[in-house]
Structure 1
Amino acid sequence: MKSSARTPLSVLLAAAIIFSLFAPALAQRPTTAARHARKTERTSLVERVGTTGILQVEAESFRDLSPRQKILAYYLSEAAIAVDPVIYDQMSRFGLRQKRILEAIVSHPQGVRPAALRKITDYTKLFWANSGNHNGYTAQKFLPDFTYEELEQAALQAIKQGGLSWTPDELHKELQELRPSFFDPAFEPMSTAKSPQGGLDIIQASANNFYGPNVTLADLKNFQDRYPLNSRVVKIP
Structure 2
Amino acid sequence: MKYNIKTISIALSLGCLSLVQNSIAQTKVNPPFRVTAESFADLQILRYQVPGFNELNLQQKKLAYYLSEAALSGRDIIYDQSGKYNLLVRKTIENIYSTYKGDRKTADWQKFKTYAGRFWFSNGMHHHYGNEKFIPEHSYSYFTKLVLNSNLKGFPINKAETIPAFLNRLRPLIFDPKFQPKLVDQSPNIDNVTASSNNFYENVSQKEVEDYYSKFDTKGQAPSWGLNTKLLKQNGKIVEKTWKIGGMYGPAIERIVYWLEKAIPVAENAKQKDALQKLVKYYRSGDLKDFDEYSIAWVNDTESRLDVVNGFIEVYKDAIGKKGSFESVVSLKDMEATKRLEAIAKEAQWFEDNSPLMPEHKKKTVKGITAKAITVIMESGDAAPATPIGINLPNANWIRQDHGSKSVSLTNIVHAYNLSSTNSGVLDEFVFDPAVKARIREYGNLSSDLHTDMHECIGHASGQINPGIDNPEKTLKNYSSTLEEARADLVALYYVMDTKLIEIGVMPSLEVGKAEYDSYIMNSLITQLTRLKQGANLEEAHMRNRQLNAMWVYEK
Q: Which residue of 2 aligns with 1:106?
A: 97
Contact kept in structure 2, 1:152 and 1:175, CA below 8 Å: yes
Match of 1:185 among 167, 177, 189: 177
Q: Which residue of 2 aligns with 1:152?
A: 144
Taking a change above 3 Å as real, the CA distance of residues 175 and 200 of structure 1, as seen in their structure-2 partners, is farther
Q: What is the TM-score normalised by the length of structure 2?
A: 0.33
Contact kept in structure 1, 2:191 and 2:205, CA below 8 Å: yes
For residue 195 of structure 1, give the secondary structure of its aligned residue in structure 2: coil
Q: Which residue of 2 aligns with 1:62?
A: 53
**What code does the residue aligned with 1:85 have?**
D
Write the mapping of 1:1-237 to structure 2, written as runs, cut at 5 A. Answer: 41-112=32-103, 114-115=105-106, 116-159=108-151, 162-164=153-155, 166=157, 170-195=162-187, 200-212=190-202, 214-222=203-211, 223=213, 224=216, 226=225, 228-229=227-228, 231-237=229-235
Shift of 1:129: 0.7
**What code does the residue aligned with 1:228 have?**
L
Contact kept in structure 1, 2:91 and 2:156, CA below 8 Å: no
Taking a change above 3 Å as real, the CA distance of residues 169 and 154 of structure 1, as seen in their structure-2 partners, is farther
**What code does the residue aligned with 2:155 have?**
L
For residue 232 of structure 1, give the secondary structure of its aligned residue in structure 2: strand
RMSD (Å), alpha carbons: 2.4
**What code does the residue aligned with 1:232 have?**
K
Shift of 1:102: 0.4
Shift of 1:178: 2.4
Contact kept in structure 2, 1:110 and 1:157, CA below 8 Å: yes
Taking a change above 3 Å as real, the CA distance of residues 178 and 184 of structure 1, as seen in their structure-2 partners, is same
Contact kept in structure 1, 2:88 and 2:156, CA below 8 Å: no
With 43-52 and 167-176 compared, the bigger mean Cα shift is at 167-176
Question: Matches of 2:104 and 2:45 in 1, distance apart?
Answer: 25
Structure 1 unaligned regions, length at least 5: 1-39
Output one character per residue of 1:40-99: Cα deviation in whole Å (capped at 9) or x when no partner.
812222111133111223222222223222212211221222211111100011100100
State the identity as a percent.
Answer: 31
Taking a change above 3 Å as real, the CA distance of residues 165 and 124 of structure 1, as seen in their structure-2 partners, is closer
Shift of 1:232: 0.9
Q: What is the TM-score normalised by the length of structure 1?
A: 0.73
Structure 2 unaligned regions, length at least 5: 1-30, 217-223, 236-556
Q: Which residue of 1 aligns with 2:354?
A: none
The size of the alignment, in residue pairs, is 193
**When you count strand as a share of all residues, which structure comes out higher?**
2
Shift of 1:113: 5.8
Question: Matches of 2:156 and 2:182 in 1, distance apart?
Answer: 32
Contact kept in structure 2, 1:105 and 1:154, CA below 8 Å: yes
Output one character per residue of 1:20-48: Cα deviation in whole Å (capped at 9) or x when no partner.
xxxxxxxxxxxxxxxxxxxx812222111
For residue 86 of structure 1, give the secondary structure of its aligned residue in structure 2: helix
Contact kept in structure 1, 2:83 and 2:197, CA below 8 Å: yes
Question: Matches of 1:163 and 1:111 in 2, distance apart?
Answer: 16
For residue 74 of structure 1, give the secondary structure of its aligned residue in structure 2: helix
